[in-house]
Copies of this chain bind each other. A is one copy, B any other.
Amino acid sequence: MSQKIGRSTLVLDTFPSIMSYASVVGKKEGEGPLARYFDAIFDDTTLGEKTWEKSESRMQKEAVSRALEKGGYATMQIDYIFAGDLLNQCISSHYGLRDLNIPFYGLYGACSTMAEGLSLASVFVDNNLAGFTMAATSSHFCSAERQFRLPLEYGGQRTPTSQWTATAAGSLVVGKSARPPFVKAVCGGTITDLGIKDINNMGAAMAPAAAQTIKTYLEDSHTGPQDYDLIVTGDLGLVGSELLIDLLKRDGIDISGVHNDCGKMLYDVEAQDVHAGGSGAGCSASVLCSYLLKKIEDGALKNVLFIATGALMSTTSFQQGESIPSIAHLVHLTYNRE
């Protein structure tokens, strides 16, 4: 059962375990520093489909199927899947997962989806509301570009603060076992909007949400940055990461020694010319469901805060002159059950 230690902070007393996980990525991501941790790299990012949206759906399905397969689970064993994505009406998830016949709670958390889904999936297991649950999300550079920015064919110039939407999907199975990685606690985020309107600087828009959620969790859990091997956000990129560190320093919290960001980890940012780093719901999901969970499983990382951030605007709100509201959900992952 979960213990409420703050308004939106729950300590999961049974330490739900991440039983299995998988990530699949595109060619560019497969050329990055985490290449050897992915379950599949698709050099053909169409995945043989006729449209980018269908490619993304297929990719999300691949991540889910591989997570099930690696753990030896049948779809019938999964009580719920919590999933969503960035596309209008979350069609990657709906079309990607429609054949699975797994009870489905649809989420919209933009790039925070994996942390949101993992939070709910873990809470359900911790309170015996489910035996096994799953979380999944995805993003695709080509479907995101044409929906949020410009069709690729325009060959538009990118600004230095812009981030590169990852072609990637991640999925995991949560259950109960004595094997790490464990989910120790979760902290739900609050919508934050400091008035930033630059759609090419999402990292800056999302940093305040990440700062708020991290601060809340550290306070609720009576811990500090020194208690963690890694505080990893996703996806603030270069610009947002610096801003996050500055924002927290103002509150007397220095995470600079333990912070990293999935948007900086997925690519060799300079060599791969991704400007301010990676983004997209699939970015933090694929970094989590490959390198991060593997390192925790192996005990190389023992205490990790995973904070996925989402920018909650649309092209319509942007065109109407609105600022960018953001959110960040936090999951505390551990190697030991203590």
Q: Tell me the complex Cα distance, A159–B217, Å.
A: 52
Q: Tell me the complex Cα distance, A104–B212, Å.
A: 13
Chain B residues whose CB sits within 8 angstroms of the CB of A94 once the complex forms: 191, 312-313, 317, 325
A80 on the interface (CB 8 Å rule)?
A: yes
A327 with B191: CB separation less than 8 A = no
A98 with B191: CB separation less than 8 A = yes
Closest 10 CB pairs of A and B: A8-B103, A89-B314, A94-B312, A108-B108, A103-B188, A88-B88, A98-B191, A106-B108, A98-B325, A88-B314
A193 on the interface (CB 8 Å rule)?
A: yes
Chain B residues whose CB sits within 8 angstroms of the CB of A310 once the complex forms: 106
Chain B residues whose CB sits within 8 angstroms of the CB of A87 once the complex forms: 314, 316
Q: Tell me the complex Cα distance, A7–B116, Å.
A: 22
Chain A, range 96-152, C-beta contacts under 8 Å to B: 97-98, 100-110, 116, 119-120, 123, 127-130, 147
A320 on the interface (CB 8 Å rule)?
A: yes
What band does the interface of chain A fall in when counting residues whose beta carbon is under 8 Å from B?
35 or more
B88 with A312: CB separation less than 8 A = no
* Interchain residue pairs with CB less than 8 A apart (17): A4-B128, A7-B103, A84-B106, A87-B316, A88-B316, A89-B314, A91-B312, A94-B317, A95-B317, A98-B312, A98-B325, A101-B191, A105-B109, A105-B119, A106-B327, A108-B108, A127-B127
A315 on the interface (CB 8 Å rule)?
A: yes
Q: Which residue of B lies closest to A89 (CB)?
A: B314
